[in-house]
Amino acid sequence: MKSGQSGQSGQWVAVVPVKGNPGAKSRLGDRPDRPRLADAFALDTVAAVLAAPRVGRVLVVTADDALAARLAALGAEIVLEAAVPEAAVPATEPAAGEGSGESARPPADPMNAAIRQGLTAARTRFPRANLLVLTGDLPALTPADVEQALALAAGHERSMVPDAAGTGTTTLLALAGVPVEPRFGPGSRAAHEAAGHVPLEIPPAAGIRSDVDTAADLLVAERLGLGAHTRPLVAADPASIWR
């Protein structure tokens, strides 16, 4: 926890799931630096969140020991990802502690399972803190982006930041004690809105909305301004983002 912060109400604890293996970011194509780029995205995302004054802790859920060590060196706390089978949770099973207005938990998948693990760790250790979940592929994220989202989120029990396309989700937020169930994946904005998360009014051309899955996404993020870990990789071969 940052100096003067002890998990009290009003502070935020972030959860960032990081795949961190050679299969990460397959939609970037066959560029040889794809695994390194995926790692750099995560490092830049976590570095920006750590630098946001209102964030007291950043919990990263990953099974990649090498990347975990690099993230821990930045100041993140590592939650070792547990292996969860795809069908571990039936589609009709309600999420533990969900409010009566929320829908049933969706089928299990590795990303949402990792997020649930991180949220459980955060709720257990910091029960009075607000929570935010960010995808680990936001290389143009800035601390100011995070602070803007947190300021807007303070007025809602549950909120979210859509991706630039407007159909997905990059950030999920919930105030202290409010149940939250991650529904990341195709159509996640609609799923999160149905669960009571209010979309925050943040311009599409903001780093917090610019997750990177494709070469076109990377070009957009580059125009916004890449973080210190991603920038050198793209600068080394800028033409490769068009391949």
Residue 122's nearest CA partner among 17, 49, 14, 45 is: 14
Q: Where are the domains of the chain?
A: 12-238
Is 185 marked within a binding site? yes
pLDDT tens across 67-89, in order? Answer: 999 999 999 999 998 865 444 44
For 68-111, the DSSP string reads HHHHHHHT-EEEEPPP--TTSS-TTPPPTT--TTSPPPPPP-HH
14: three-class secondary structure by DSSP: strand
Q: Which CATH superfamily is domain 12-238 in?
A: Spore Coat Polysaccharide Biosynthesis Protein SpsA; Chain A (3.90.550.10)
For residue 59, the surrounding DSSP H or E stretch is strand 55-62
Residue 132's nearest CA partner among 109, 169, 160, 110 is: 160
Q: Which two tokens stand for residue 22?
A: 């050679």
pTM, full prediction: 0.85
pLDDT tens across 215-230, in order? Answer: 899 999 999 999 999 9
Is 169 marked within a binding site? yes
Give the number of other CB atoms < 10 A from CB of residue 30: 7
Is 6 marked within a binding site? no
